[in-house]
Amino acid sequence: MALDEKLSSSKTFLYGLQHVCVSNVWLDPIFVAAMIGLPLSQSANIVSAIFIVAGLVTLIQATKLVKLPIVQGPSAAFDSVMIAAGKANGLAAASGGIFLSAIIVFILSITGIIGRLKSLFTPVISGTVIFLVGISLSEFTLSEFLGGAPGDESFASPSTLTLSITTSLIVLSLSLFGKGLWKSFSFLIALVVGDMLAVMLGKADFSLIESKPWFGIPQFLPYGNLTFQWEPFLTFFVVYIVAIIEAMGVYQASGEMLNTEINKKRIRNGFAGEAAGSFLSSLIGGFPTTAYAQNVGLLRLTGVASRYPVMVAGCIFLLFGFFPKVGALLALTPSPVVGGIFLPAAATLVSTGISILTKAENTDKNYLIIGLSILLALSLPHYSGNIDGILGTMLSNSLLIGAFTTIFLQLILITIPNRLKRGRLE
């Protein structure tokens, strides 16, 4: 299906709803608020804030800026630093760090500096980043799929596995062997069946809906006036750069699937839109938005690549942001069902990364860059548990390690030597 193909109103709405359900826009704020221990009012505020920002940015990106079928939402890269800031009563400083980071990225975007980085994102870098996004998403996905970690009451229980395996089998069966609408709506059908099964097994929790108001507007500066401290700012800025690298990889992956050129203008507009959304999010209690990789996996599995359903998804996010009780319906979906839906999407991202890597030139240097980057990304986080500060943040994030390693090695092994060689020839 073409990027700008228009569908019937009913199909456009249902495809948009499917994008909403596959994204984890609502999971990150709920998880962060629960880990920090925020009171109910602030928990509701952060969820509403992120729904509204995700809706605005998704809608504007799809219609005016990057013009790709990409859903925007809170970057999971920020979860750990937001939780650490919240537990240290530093959410005002965290918002200040996000605010300043967003302004810097916005300036770099509109001046075209970020757009010039496109040449740096070779298949080696883009493929490695997308591969690692799939791997990092799989860690969260398997936790949801299996019901937590060993020792948890729900871990690998019969009811948990019934929900997760059934949901995944429906997605895989319909997306691989289904035809027409069965294939296109494979994720939505799996979600509905999974939720119905959860209700039958008594695994659906309706208490969250009861606690939410019908209508709400996010509070301006809910954690107090923004404060600026160097360590929180640098920590959030480093993580923000990781989100940019991830988003660049998502743009490249979507372009790969759609046979659409990701030119400097698209990159400039896309990152300017994301930065503006993050700027707004910091003022109403949320955290930065970025392009969602799992929804790119949805494009490949369903074969529906039109950007119009993504516009509808943006409108649905806005609706959920202003009507918290409606948005809380998504929280009814139990973790195993979420894991069952995400597992095929994560697998598709891994295969997409591999597909991009196959387009890299077959050289020893490229093999070294790919292998070493993936090795360090998967291994180093296990040895960084006792390291604090910015270094601890960097070494605990596999995506950050992989992204920076590939870029660094690409520069010192290929880009700089090639430019020096051209300079001597001239």
DSSP per residue over 143-194, as a string? Answer: HHHHTSSTTSTTTT-HHHHHHHHHHHHHHHHHHHH--THHHHTHHHHHHHHH
C-alpha 7 chain-centroid distance: 26
pLDDT in tens, 177-193: 888 778 878 888 888 89
> Residue 139: which of 378, 352, 390, 391 has the closest Cα?
378
Task: Identify whether the C-beta of residue 190 lies closer than 8 Å to the C-beta of residue 167.
Answer: yes
Pick the most confident of 195-199, 210-214, 417-421. 195-199
pLDDT in tens, 31-57: 777 668 777 677 778 888 989 999 999
Start-to-end CA span in the chain (Å): 47
pLDDT value, residue 136: 78
Neighbours of 233 (CB within 10 A): 20
> Residue 296: which of 135, 72, 118 has the closest Cα?
72
Rounded to 5°, the CA angle 241-243-244 comes to: 65
Query: Which percentage of the chain shows pLDDT scores above 70?
Result: 93
Mean of the per-residue pLDDT values of the chain: 84
- In sequence order, what are the beta bridge partners of 72? 291
pLDDT in tens, 107-139: 999 998 887 777 777 889 888 988 888 887 777
Query: Which percentage of the chain shows pLDDT scores above 90?
Result: 23
Task: Identify whether the C-beta of residue 182 lies closer than 8 Å to the C-beta of residue 301.
Answer: no
Q: pLDDT grade, residue 144 (50/70/90)?
A: confident
Task: Identify whether the C-beta of residue 179 lies closer than 8 Å to the C-beta of residue 10.
Answer: no
CA distance 356 to 335: 31
Average pLDDT over residues 146-155: 85
Q: Which long-range contacts (CB under 8 A, 24 or more apart) does 118-122 make?
A: 118/262, 118/263, 118/264, 118/267, 120/407, 120/410, 120/415, 121/248, 121/249, 121/252, 122/360, 122/410
Burial bucket for residue 330 (CB in 10 Å: 0-12, 13-18, 19+)? buried
pLDDT value, residue 207: 67
pLDDT in tens, 221-265: 888 888 888 877 888 887 888 788 888 888 888 887 788 888 888
pLDDT in tens, 360-406: 889 999 999 999 999 999 998 888 777 776 677 677 778 788 888 99
User: Residue 26 has which token pair?
Assistant: 């609502």
Domain boundaries, the chain: 9-214+221-360, 361-421
Pick the most confident of 152-161, 176-185, 268-277, 284-293. 268-277
Average pLDDT over residues 92-106: 92
DSSP per residue over 62-124, as a string? Answer: HHTSS-SS--EEE-GGGHHHHHHHHHTT-HHHHHHHHHHHHHHHHHHHHTTTTGGGGGG--HH
Q: pLDDT grade, residue 84 (50/70/90)?
A: confident
